[in-house]
Amino acid sequence: MTIKSSGTLSISDIVAEFGSSGTHSLSEYYRGGSRVPNTPANSGIPTSGTITLSDFYGASAIADISYVGTNFAHIASGFVGWPAGTQAGDMAMIMTLSNNNTNYWTGMSGWSQDSINELLVSNGSGWACLYSKVISAGDVSSPPQWVGGGAYAGMLVVVYRGGSLVKFKGATYETGTTITIPGFTKSTGSSRIAAFFVDRTNSGLYGTPPSGFTERVRDRITYYNMGVADRAASGYANGTNIVWTAMHNQYYQDMAVYELI
C-alpha cells in the first residue's frame, strides 16, 4: 500500500504501512533505516534530524523496483520462457509481433492487453501487441500461451521486481528516424519508467534509447529490431518527451511506455 497523499495523518497510518516494535515513535521511521526504504516515493522523509507526520504523505514500504531480466525469440506461438530468477509477485510485460496481413492474434487469458499497434510491412500489415501483469506462482509454473502466426513473428518478455502495479501509459506508431511519446507525466508513487520499441527493417540493428534511460535489451528477431530501456522516475522532469532515435525508417516504428509502481 501507499500512505495517502492528503488529509489528516496519524502515527497509526505510518505504523500500518511500515510496521513497528513496541512503543510508536517517529524516530523509528527515518528514510534509509530498517523500516523505511530509501526510494523516490519516500524522498520527503528525512534521514535524520527533525521528522514530522507531514513528511509521510505518499510514502510507501515498497522497496525500489529492480530489473530482473529479459527473454526474446522468433516464435509464432507458445512462450519464450521466463528470464532466470523470475518469481511470483514480479511485474511482467510482454511484447508480441505478428507479421500478417490481418490482425492475427489471440489474447493471453488473465493478462491485460494494453496496446495493439500496426506495423506496416512490405506485403501488408503486421501487429505489435503489449500485455502486462503482476504474475502469480501459477504464471511462473504454467506460463501464458500466445498464438500470433506469421513467418516473422516474435516475443519479448521483460520482468521487474519490487512493486505492485504495472501501469500502461500510452503507445504510438509513426514513420521517420525518431519515435516520440510527447510531454510524458509520471504518476504519484512511480518508481521506474520503461519504454519499449519495435522497428521494422530488412537489415541491421537500429534504435538509440531515450536520454537518461538504461538499455536492457536491443536485438533483432528476423525482420524486426525490438528492445526496452528504463530509468528511475525520480529526477524525471514531467512534460519531457520520451524519444527513441536512430530508427531505420523503412516502415512504421512502434513505441510504448509503462510505469512501475
Least confident of 12-26, 93-107, 148-162, 174-188: 93-107
Rounded CA-CA distance 50/69 in Å is 40
Instruction: Judge contact between 26 and 51, C-beta under 8 A.
Output: yes
Please tell me what DSSP assigns to residue 213: P
Rounded CA-CA distance 5/260 in Å is 18
Please tell me the predicted confidence (pLDDT) of residue 259. Answer: 94
What average pLDDT does range 6-21 have in this prediction? 92
* Nearest CA-CA partner of 129 in 110, 109, 161, 107: 107
Rounded CA-CA distance 191/61 in Å is 12
Please tell me the predicted confidence (pLDDT) of residue 261. Answer: 85
The DSSP element (H or E) to which 240 belongs, if any, is strand 240-244
- The string of DSSP codes covering 79-136 is ---PPTT--TT-EEEEEEEE-SSS---BPPTTSEEEEEEEEEETTEEEEEEEEEEE--
| Residue 190 vs residue 230, higher pLDDT | 230
| Residue 150 vs residue 216, higher pLDDT | 216
Nearest-5° Cα angle at 71, 73 to 116? 70
Q: How many CB atoms lie within 10 A of CB 123?
A: 9
Instruction: Judge contact between 236 and 212, C-beta under 8 A.
Output: yes
Residue 118 β-bridge partners: 127
Is residue 229 scored above 90 in pLDDT?
A: yes
| Residue 28 vs residue 23, higher pLDDT | 28
Instruction: Judge contact between 104 and 55, C-beta under 8 A.
Output: no
Please tell me the predicted confidence (pLDDT) of residue 11. Answer: 94
pTM (2 d.p.): 0.76
Is residue 101 scored above 80 in pLDDT?
A: no
Q: Who's near 202: CB < 8 A, 6+ residues apart?
A: 223, 250
Cell reading at 34: 530498517
| Residue 124 vs residue 10, higher pLDDT | 10
pLDDT in tens, 108-154: 778 988 987 766 554 456 778 889 999 999 999 999 888 776 777 88
For the chain, give the mean pLDDT: 86
Please tell me the predicted confidence (pLDDT) of residue 124. Answer: 52
Residue 161 β-bridge partners: 66
Is residue 103 scored above 70 in pLDDT?
A: no
* Nearest CA-CA partner of 205 in 221, 190, 188, 184: 221
Q: How many CB atoms lie within 10 A of CB 105?
A: 21
| Residue 108 vs residue 102, higher pLDDT | 108
Domain ranges of the chain: 11-56, 66-260
What average pLDDT does range 199-224 have in this prediction? 84
pLDDT in tens, 53-81: 999 998 988 767 889 999 998 888 889 99
